[in-house]
Chain A
Amino acid sequence: METATSPLQSALQSTSPTLSFSSFSRDVTVPLENFIVQLRRGQITEAKDIAKRTAVLMRQVVANSRWDDVLALVNLLKFVGKKLVAAQPRELLIVNIVCRIIHIVNEETSSVELIEDPSKKSATPKSATSPVKGTETPMMGLGQSGAFMAQNLGEQLTSTLKKRTMDMFRLKSSIIQEITEYIEELEGTEDDIADKALEHIHSNEIILTCGRSRTVEKFLRTAARKRKFHVIVTECAPMYDGHEQAKALACPNIEVVVIPDSAVFAIMSRVNKVILGTRVVMANGGLIATSGTHMIAAAARHHSTQVVVCAGQYKHSPSFPFDDDRFNTLVSPDAVLPYREGDLVGAVDVAYPRYDYVPPELVDVLVDNTGGHLPSYLYRLLQENYDSAKDFAWTIHDQ
């Protein structure tokens, strides 16, 4: 009878959203706290790193924490997600990954149920149903099984529990497997995108790009294996990561020119195609990308130059850009105005935003690991990738 307490506990736990660190084993809390600290200190900034580490952490939560039904698991994931978002509220990627994982969990749950014999379904505790489908709370599920128990209490209970444990075990391993696949997909994102390069870049074209983006770097370098073209890189003052990008791109087939940001409009008339990287693609198809991107996109529109954006699907955010400030990061203005300038530092407020918001009208093609899409098609992809978990993204910023 001792085992009977565990579903009850989990039922209680899943109904009460108050979770704490103590709900997790050390296998989860240590990497979690580590990750939180690193996020807060800004020690991990590369988009893919953040995405991958979030996904890995989520896998650890699934594998190493106690959960007896899917609702409890989703609550755990949401709790961890909220912690991560609190550590770095402007990092939308975290939200994307958390949503994706929750979606994977939900999908996996429903597919496991589909495989099962529908006739047996009434015997399985309702608490195992996914939170999307299941309108009944786990408590109700338990009450129903209590009615069963009236006839043959001991036998019924043990068999149900045994079955349930088996189900959960199966579910757990399949979820973990799915997440692992997802992580592999994340790792291969850049290569997948680069495979599409030849469709977009033709010989002797003049390509303009901006800032440091590894996705774009790989994209261009893959094209350079077959074709010869020019690349113009804007330097992105005051961080000058355009310089870095130019260095990384330089190879026999690519002729790289670095220009100051102010020259973008002047040079746009000669450019055949603008290829950009981005931090995040918002739900409406707009971009959150390095400062200076908006200017380039606007100049490209003026000259009717095509703007191609390379971004893996993990960068697609289910949130809409209602508030520019919230999605931007303002970093130390030291690079713009050196801190030692005492007379000015006291008198002037300097803002140095890291990102621009580029409205979807200025984007022509979004290239992700599955192919090129129009920004207006994005809703379809979001539906596929996040469907059941969008509410998490929509509520998280309201708190």
Chain B
Amino acid sequence: MAPGKSNSNSKVELEEELKAVVLADSFDDLFQPLALNRPRCLLPLCNVPMIEYTLEFLSSSGVRETILICKSHADRLQAYIKQSKWGRSSHSSMKIRIKVARTAESVGDALRDIDNDTGLRSDFILCTGMVVSNMDLSKLVAAHMANKRNDKDHIMTVLLQEASQSHRLRDKSDESVYLIDPSSNKLLGINSFPSLPKPKSMTIQTEVIISYPEVELRADLVDTNIFVCSPQVLALFTENFDYQTMRRDFIHGILASDLLSSSIYAHVLAGTSTSAPENPEDDGLDAARDADVNAAADTEFDFINHSGYAAGVIDTSAYDSISRDLIGRWAYPLCPDSSPVDGAVYTYNRGCVYKAQSVFLGRESYVERNVVLGPNSHVADFARVLESVLGAKCSVGERSVVRGAYLFDEATVGKGSVIERTIIGERVTILDNVVIERGCIIGDDVTIGPNIRIPSFTHIARRKPQSSNTFSDDDLDGYSDEEESNSGSEGQQMPGSNTAEHEDHETSNGNATVGMQGTYSSEPFDTHVLGSSGIGYVWSKYGQGNMNNSDADSDDYDYDYADNEGVKLRQLRAIGSYFADIEIAENELKDEESDEHSSDQEQEIENTSPMQVFERELRLTIARAFERNHSIEDTAFEISNVRLSYNGDQNDMRRIVAQEILGNIDLGGLPTSAKKVLSRWGGVIKRCISNEIEQVEVVDIVERYCALDPAVSDDLRSRLFRQTIPLLYEFDIVEDLAIIAWYNKAVTKSSDEVSRELVQKIEVFVDWLNESEEEEDDDDDDDNDEESDDE
């Protein structure tokens, strides 16, 4: 019956032209406020609009016709395609049709639209407009067809990229476990959870275990957002009109459903390493074959066929990692120096530095590695640029540091600024001495500075945020997908506000588009965050940066970023997030939970004393650093972040850090344990010290700790102190002068008995210091100078 029939069908389909459907809209707002003025897929990735990578990928896979579905800024996308090489008649290898789905609110809606309209009747490739891949998809399509012959219910093949835990490509907010039948690569289930709170268990349908002799559970796969679909997929979307997202609704729905017998297969991209090239027709004895060798001259080095890189830019974190992959040439031949568009030509220089034409580098500038410099970009003397992408006509001023940042065209950075893991929009001006911490996203035309520090994960735009829900590039309704994904625990709280939001969105949609491109709001700018010359507004909803310093705007949003978990999850998807953040956030959330359960009194204290919150946060951060064995740099960075976000005091920070580290000394095994702890972690204390007075303070803190801390038993106090102080000196945490200064003060002033005893204990050591200092006065000075230079 069926098998013969489907066989002939698939043959016919094979001969048909390969089509692709590209979702050029993402239906979420993860790139806001960058995507205010143009569709997300036109944002530059290594200075090339993202859609180009997708179209290039499809066209090189032999796709003949592509349907682009877009929603917001459809006109801009249309205009772009028209003027690009895809619109040129001589470049006729792939036809592009643009379809505007004005009312679509999600992937599901868009696909339903297609089903109604275009009537795709053959198998097609489905991907987002932000996919980067060097794969030849015909391989995947062939696999799809082959499977279809064996399994007539086969409706979709999902392309997955292998990536171990803590791979930069992974979505940190999401933990997915794929259940795969290893013999056929059939997908048996997807369990995906938000990574906060950390999932503790997952359920597997018993049928899966009963009916398959072998099931692979894989947590090392990343969704590439590339699918090969049969036309039934569209029909299924139409039938199940509540399906919104591809993975969470559709795939999960199909796999979990008892009624639908459709099956989905997975294709895992495993990289090149194992596959050696093979020559099928190997009859080496025949000399007559000589002639054939040339005729059959398939590519001499066809490693492209063996390798595969595929990834989708789903959020700013993926944007960051995919940019790095392109710069690091993982997606060869897609790299900055052989970009898919005509235009700027980049040359490769050692250390993965790509330079376009007319790049100006100051004589003393420092452009280190993994950098793309756009045409006419300018790096002044003493500026450092590393692991970054500079667009056309960008400039970086003297002594500025740009690390892990993405500057779009014509962005300028003033003198002495520091920019860390941030995306900066077009024509943004950053004035002198501005520090932008990791994870910030700065929209077009903003001005920041001078002399200001932008806390991490701050989003800034030229336009007021409240009107944002009408800039529906990445409309805010899309977030409902996310909400659903997180819904496990808190799903019920929201529906009310959510539907209200939907209505709000729809009503405002019409009238807001009028003023959309046009006038900026005349309200005063958020200069308290952006600095005295700042132009722009903080989008408080998305970042944590707002929590302290923005009281306005917050009631414009009443959907679920209000809940802390949502914000945290969102931050994990932003550029600049680390895997360690998951744990940090988790602990924070745990604390909150326990706070909620504890008495009101405690909450009051928390409200009245931010200092205590700060202290607790800091202690937690350090404890975590110990637990996870972070590097000194990371720990110091986290500490200063905590301080900035809680507006904590430097002195408090120093005290707490020193106390926490001393607290980790195992009092039982004293001499060695103290040495161990201080040699490993002393650097953190050192990072909290900027001058000599503070060094003296540190000695004082240590003394206070030894004298008063309840954790230290009385008999050990003097011993601990006596051994710690020389170690502080030995590991360069404080200088001898500071110890002597402290000692001189303490001898005269120490009040209580314990202190006096402690002071006496280090008398010998101080004497020795005094002597040695006299001897090596000059040397010491030199050393000190060098040290302070390094700082």
Contact = CB atoms under 8 A, between A and B. Distances in A.
B150 interface: no
B166 A331 contact: no
Interface string B341-356: 0100101111110000
B53 to A, nearest CB: 12
Most buried by A among B134, B272, B299: B272
Interface string B144-179: 000000000000000001111111111000000000
A27 to B, nearest CB: 11
Interface in B263-308: 270-273, 276-277, 279, 282, 284-285, 287, 290, 293-294, 297, 299-304, 307
B328 A350 contact: yes
B91 interface: yes
A51 to B, nearest CB: 12
B376 to A, nearest CB: 15
Contacts of B293: 214, 217-218, 248
Contact of B328 (A33, A88, A225, A333): A333
B294 A214 contact: yes
Most buried by B among A87, A214, A339, A352: A339
Interface stretch (B10-18, B69-77, B331-339, B452-460): B331-339
Contact of B370 (A250, A331, A349): A349
A49 interface: yes
A243 B299 contact: no
A88 to B, nearest CB: 7
B178 to A, nearest CB: 14
A349 B328 contact: yes
B271 A331 contact: no
A2 to B, nearest CB: 29
Interface residues of A, number: 63
A310 to B, nearest CB: 15
Contacts of B60: 37, 41, 43
Contacts of B220: 340
State the main secondary structure of chain B at its contact with A. loop
Contacts of A43: 60, 299, 304
Interface stretch (A3-11, A165-173, A234-242, A300-308): A234-242
A395 interface: no
Contacts of B330: 332-334, 339, 345
A350 B325 CA distance: 11
Given A46-B300, A249-B284, A325-B349, A335 B307 contact: yes
A21 interface: yes
B340 interface: yes
B333 A334 contact: no
Nearest to B311: A339
Given A33-B91, A335-B272, A89 B347 contact: yes
Contact of A218 (B290, B301, B357, B369): B290
Contacts of B201: none
B284 A46 contact: no
B507 interface: no
Given A33-B91, A252-B285, A332-B332, A349 B273 contact: no
Given A247-B284, A248-B284, A29 B301 contact: no
A239 B272 CA distance: 9
A221 B288 CA distance: 11
Most buried by B among A252, A332, A351: A332
Contacts of A240: 276-277
Contacts of A332: 134, 272, 303, 307, 309, 329-332
A350 B329 CA distance: 9
A380 to B, nearest CB: 29
Contacts of B91: 33, 37
A86 B347 CA distance: 10
Given A89-B337, A339-B330, A330 B279 contact: no
Given A88-B338, A340-B271, A45 B170 contact: no
Interface in A332-363: 332-335, 338-343, 345-346, 349-352, 354
A37 B168 contact: no
B332 A343 contact: no
Interface string A188-210: 00100000000000000000000
Contact of A343 (B85, B166, B309, B342): B166
Given A40-B333, A335-B307, A340 B277 contact: no
A38 to B, nearest CB: 9
Contacts of B285: 250-252
Contacts of A248: 279, 284, 293
B309 A239 contact: no
A253 to B, nearest CB: 10
A225 B162 CA distance: 48
A235 B440 CA distance: 48
Interface in A2-60: 21, 26, 29-30, 33-34, 37, 40-49
A46 B163 contact: no
B468 to A, nearest CB: 32
B15 to A, nearest CB: 22
B493 to A, nearest CB: 35
Contact of B303 (A87, A239, A330): A239
Contact of A42 (B282, B304, B329): B304
Contacts of A212: 300-301
A162 interface: no
B348 A330 contact: yes
Contacts of A330: 329, 332, 348
A214 B297 contact: yes
A333 B277 CA distance: 17
B329 A326 contact: no
Contacts of A87: 338
A342 B307 contact: no
Contact of B297 (A21, A49, A251): A49
B317 to A, nearest CB: 12
A37 B328 CA distance: 22
Nearest to B85: A33
Nearest to A235: B276
Nearest to B307: A334
A399 interface: yes
A181 interface: no
A244 interface: yes
A134 B346 CA distance: 36
Contacts of B271: 334, 338-340
A221 B300 contact: no
Given A89-B347, A346-B167, 9 more contacts: A40-B333, A89-B337, A240-B276, A251-B287, A330-B348, A339-B325, A339-B330, A345-B168, A352-B329
18 contacts: A21-B90, A29-B90, A46-B297, A238-B272, A248-B279, A326-B347, A330-B348, A332-B309, A332-B331, A334-B273, A334-B307, A338-B270, A338-B273, A340-B162, A340-B163, A341-B167, A349-B352, A399-B357
Which 10 residue pairs of A and B lie closest in terms of their CB atoms, listed nearest first?
A342-B167, A332-B332, A42-B333, A340-B162, A342-B164, A46-B300, A250-B284, A29-B90, A338-B271, A346-B168
Interface of A: 21, 26, 29-30, 33-34, 37, 40-49, 86-90, 190, 212, 214, 217-218, 221, 225, 238-241, 243-244, 247-252, 325-326, 330-335, 338-343, 345-346, 349-352, 354, 399
